[in-house]
């Protein structure tokens, strides 16, 4: 989730002080792609360990005078070694405006940085009630439990016990006040390291590409080689002796090793100093995105809901599927069957064996990554990751694009899956604050002049994941990208509300002909003229989204072109085997990790009388996977407003919940 990194060097190294300064700065900036909401560092130059953290991104930190002074103090000291670890944060637990929640975490004589999520943190704090919880961070458990277990044994055994206690994702780096060591550990392989040519310097980061780029752009070929970049495998640990720069690598689960041989105990304890200071005069951002919302729904909203539901239930619907008369471009034949049913062609599948044969062509022989898997943390991508890793025994890299509307539930499910499967997880983080500001501007513009065709503007910011998918394949020398795209999710009404006739021959949910792409561009151009409030800072992002979704080549194969999509199998697998988390606010498992879905489906339902759930269940009917009566029963429940999710969305983009819902409720309906 976050970017963690570090560098150590000993005296006599060919790695100059200038190189050290430049490398550390580059590590901060390169790791910022994994999180831009906070940053921090810990510098160990014997006999003290200095720690600084800030609720500002790494790009702000590295240009500050405070940072420059601390780096100078580090490299100009007479210490036998220089050691630094750093953190670029994507907020998943504990608001960053409270600086105690930022990293590195200081506790029990240790300084720790963490990439991932411990999803059972609440249960562990309840289990160890004698331990004092000082922050809102799940990461606080890392030093808390490792030191607790170390009291009764070795550091190596403590690490083993820690990983057996936690559930989720932990890649970590730890400094100690009583040992001249840095400890790295990961349960999914999201750590890479490189030892210098002269064996006297060591650098690590969350991704191979970060180290590769570092070596190339900083002209460090005289110190490090790309060939020496090594992955710390899933459920492995690495102890660095800071005095000698020697490494000791073990499996976390190897109980035959009772203690690290290179553990270098100090004669005394180093002082851990938390540095205070500001790096910028800019106002601290107040984040509102974490956790569920307790919401008291006004009675008027509940009354309107039930009144609308009664009216919607009287709509004329297709006699075969459940699409209503308000669906764009719908037509009914003499038997009451809609044109969407009459033109529907059942899905055909190439078969599991052909899928395996395809993957075999790309399978690595040495256990290195051999495919990329775009991974939202939703049910389909979670099952696809399970299938590719566990059934086909491939070695995927899971890739997620966090554009600011990925919910905490989705992030926790990503941690569950990648942690248990031992799959490297590359998360590309957008400038989340900027993305949310753009969403806010477009939602407020939309509320001034509502049009169902322009609702996709709310989601424009997430489409760049196609671009980053292509980019990561190139960066990691991968030729295979596997997508878990359920074709039953096709929602033709979104382009229909833009005045585009349905293309019943489309092979993908994002397929549009050139003519239809021009029509869509003209539709949005007209709306921008009618409603100038859309002319704001989000325009470039929206254009980039259109390009990523409809123009650039999508280099993915779809697993569900080969294997039939089966809702029961998918849900049973991910929930029972991985404790995949569902949303208590809805019965469906679809789109529960997408923070926008509850909002736009509320609009579609209240204004047009249907949602994505109706199109999805209708496609299931056409495939013979569900009866019409069952589909009507399920959508009756699934289309209920998800009030807590609606409140989360409004809070996250900083608009008033009650005012916004009241405006939506006043929009003239299509029924």
State the pLDDT confidence band at 194, using cuts at 50, 70 and 90: very high
Each as own residue / partner, the long-range contacts of residues 119-124 (CB below 8 Å, 24 or more positions apart, any chain) are 119/167, 119/168, 119/412, 119/415, 119/416, 119/579, 119/581, 120/166, 120/167, 120/168, 121/93, 121/166, 124/165, 124/166
Mind listing the pLDDT tens digit for each residue in 542-561? 777 777 777 777 778 999 99
* pLDDT per residue as tens digits for the range 81-131: 999 999 999 988 888 888 999 999 999 999 999 999 999 999 999 999 999
Q: By three-state DSSP, how is residue 526 classified?
A: helix
Question: How many Å apart are CA 145 and CA 151, to the nearest integer?
Answer: 10
Task: For residues 445 and 230, give the distance between their C-alpha atoms in angstroms, rounded to a whole number.
Answer: 49
Nearest-angstrom CA–CA distance, 377 and 591: 10
Q: Hey, what domains does the chain have and what are their CATH numbers?
A: 3-271 (3.60.20.10), 299-665 (3.40.50.620)
The whole-angstrom separation of Cα 574 and Cα 113 is 29
Asked whether 346 and 507 are in contact (CB, 8 A), the reply is no
Residues 79 and 86 sit within 8 Å (Cβ to Cβ):
no
CB 539 within 8 A of CB 458: no
Model confidence at 397, pLDDT cuts 50, 70, 90, reads very high
pLDDT on residue 291: 66
Summarize the confidence of residues 325-335 as an average pLDDT. Answer: 97
Task: Give the global pTM.
Answer: 0.92
Q: Is 136 helix (H, G, I), strand (E, B) or coil?
A: coil
Cβ atoms < 10 Å from Cβ of 333 = 12
Q: How far is CA 406 from CA 409, 410, 596, 631, in A?
A: 8, 6, 9, 28
- Structure token digits, residue 584: 């208590």
Q: Is the pLDDT of residue 284 over 90?
A: no
446, 455, 495, 600, 635 from 664: Cα distances, Å: 10, 12, 21, 10, 21
Residue 576: count of CB within 10 angstroms of its CB: 9
CA distance 29 to 36: 10
The predicted pLDDT at position 195 comes to 97
Strands 271-274 and 3-10: unpaired
Tell me, rounded to whole angstroms, the distance of Cα 32 from its chain centroid: 14
Q: Which of 232, 185, 189, 226 is nearest to 209 (CA)?
A: 226
pLDDT of residue 511: 64
The confidence band for 247, taking pLDDT boundaries of 50, 70 and 90, is very high
pLDDT at 314: 96
The CA–CA distances, whole Å, from 252 to 140, 171, 181, 399 equal: 20, 12, 17, 25
Percent of the chain at pLDDT exceeding 70? 98
For 58-76, give the DSSP string.
HHHHTTSHHHHHHHHHHHT
Say how many C-beta atoms besides its own lie within 10 A of residue 431's C-beta: 17
- The whole-chain average pLDDT of the chain stands at 93
Residue 10 in 3-state DSSP? strand
Nearest CA among 539, 503, 502 for reference residue 521: 539
Residue 153 is predicted with a pLDDT of 82
pLDDT greater than 60 at residue 509: no
Task: Please give the residue that has the higher pLDDT: either 281 or 247.
Answer: 247
Tell me: pLDDT of 508 over 60.
no
User: What's the confidence (pLDDT) of residue 329?
Assistant: 97
- 582-615 pLDDT, tens digit per residue, is 998 888 899 888 999 999 999 999 999 999 999 9
More confident residue, 41 or 521: 41
Burial of 367 (0-12, 13-18, 19+ CB in 10 A): exposed
What stretches of 514-641 adopt beta strand conformation (E)?
Answer: 557-558
Angstrom distances, CA of residue 192 to CA of 78, 224, 548, 616: 29, 13, 30, 41
Is residue 507 over pLDDT 70? no
Span 31-49, pLDDT tens digits: 999 999 999 999 998 789 9
Residue 668 predicted with pLDDT over 80: yes
């Amino acid at each position: 989730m976050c970017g963690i990194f570090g560098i150590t060097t000993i005296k006599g190294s060919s790695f100059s002080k200038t190189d050290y300064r430049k490398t550390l700065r580059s590590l901060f900036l390169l790791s910022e792609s994994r999180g831009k909401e906070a940053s921090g560092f810990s510098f160990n130059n014997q006999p003290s360990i200095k720690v600084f953290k800030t609720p500002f991104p790494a790009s702000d930190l590295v240009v500050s005078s405070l940072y420059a002074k601390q780096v100078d103090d580090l490299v100009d000291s007479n210490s036998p070694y220089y050691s630094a670890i750093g953190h670029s944060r994507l907020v998943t637990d504990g608001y960053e405006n409270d600086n105690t929640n930022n990293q590195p975490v200081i506790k029990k004589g240790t300084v720790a940085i963490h990439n991932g999520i411990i999803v059972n943190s609440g249960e562990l704090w309840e289990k160890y009630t004698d331990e004092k919880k000082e922050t809102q961070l799940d990461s606080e458990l890392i030093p808390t439990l490792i030191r607790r277990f170390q009291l009764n044994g070795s550091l190596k055994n403590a690490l083993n016990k820690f990983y057996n206690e936690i559930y989720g994702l932990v890649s970590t780096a730890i400094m100690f006040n009583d040992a001249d060591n840095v400890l790295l550990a990961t349960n999914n392989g999201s750590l890479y390291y490189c030892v210098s040519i002269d064996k006297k310097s060591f650098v690590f980061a969350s991704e191979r590409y970060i180290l590769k780029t570092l070596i190339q752009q900083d002209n460090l070929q005289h110190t490090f080689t790309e060939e020496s970049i090594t992955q710390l495998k899933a459920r492995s640990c690495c102890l660095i002796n800071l005095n000698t720069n020697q490494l000791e690598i073990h499996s976390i689960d190897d109980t035959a090793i009772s203690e690290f041989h290179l553990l270098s105990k100090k004669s005394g304890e180093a002082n851990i100093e938390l540095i205070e200071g500001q790096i910028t005069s800019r106002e601290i951002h107040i984040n509102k995105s974490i956790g569920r919302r307790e919401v008291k729904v006004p009675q008027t909203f509940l009354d309107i809901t039930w009144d609308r539901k009664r009216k919607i239930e009287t709509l004329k619907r297709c006699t075969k599927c459940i699409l209503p008369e308000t669906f764009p471009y719908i037509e009914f034949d003499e038997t009451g069957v809609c044109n969407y049913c009459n033109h529907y062609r059942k899905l055909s599948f190439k078969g599991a064996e052909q899928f395996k044969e395809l993957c075999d062509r790309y399978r690595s022989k040495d256990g290195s990554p051999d495919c990329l898997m775009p991974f939202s943390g939703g049910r389909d991508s979670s099952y696809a990751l399970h299938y590719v890793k566990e059934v086909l025994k491939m070695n995927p890299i899971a890739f997620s694009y966090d554009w600011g509307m990925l919910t905490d539930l989705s992030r926790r499910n990503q941690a569950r899956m990648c942690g248990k499967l031992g799959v490297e997880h590359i998360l590309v983080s957008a400038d989340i604050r900027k993305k949310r500001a753009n969403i806010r501007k477009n939602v407020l513009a939309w509320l001034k002049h509502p049009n169902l065709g322009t609702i996709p503007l709310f989601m424009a910011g997430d489409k760049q994941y196609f671009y980053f998918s292509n980019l990561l394949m190139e960066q990691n020398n991968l030729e295979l990208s596997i997508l878990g795209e359920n074709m039953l999710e096709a929602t033709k009404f979104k382009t229909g509300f833009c005045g585009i006739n349905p293309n019943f021959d489309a092979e993908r949910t994002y397929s549009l002909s050139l003519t239809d792409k021009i029509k869509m561009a003209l539709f949005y151009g007209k709306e921008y003229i009618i409603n100038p409030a859309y002319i704001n800072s989000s325009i470039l992002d929206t254009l980039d989204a259109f390009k990523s979704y409809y123009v650039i080549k999508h280099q993915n194969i779809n697993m569900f072109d080969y294997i039939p999509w089966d809702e029961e199998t998918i849900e049973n697998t991910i929930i029972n085997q991985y404790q995949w988390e569902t949303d208590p606010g809805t019965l469906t498992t679809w789109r529960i990790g997408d923070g926008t879905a509850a909002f736009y489906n509320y609009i579609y339902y209240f204004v047009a009388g249907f949602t994505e759930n109706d199109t999805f269940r209708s496609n299931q009917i056409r495939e013979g996977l569900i009866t019409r009566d069952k589909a009507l029963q399920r959508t009756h429940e699934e289309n209920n407003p998800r009030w807590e999710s609606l409140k989360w969305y409004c809070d996250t983009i900083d608009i008033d919940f009650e005012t916004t819902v009241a405006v939506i409720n006043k929009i003239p309906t299509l029924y």
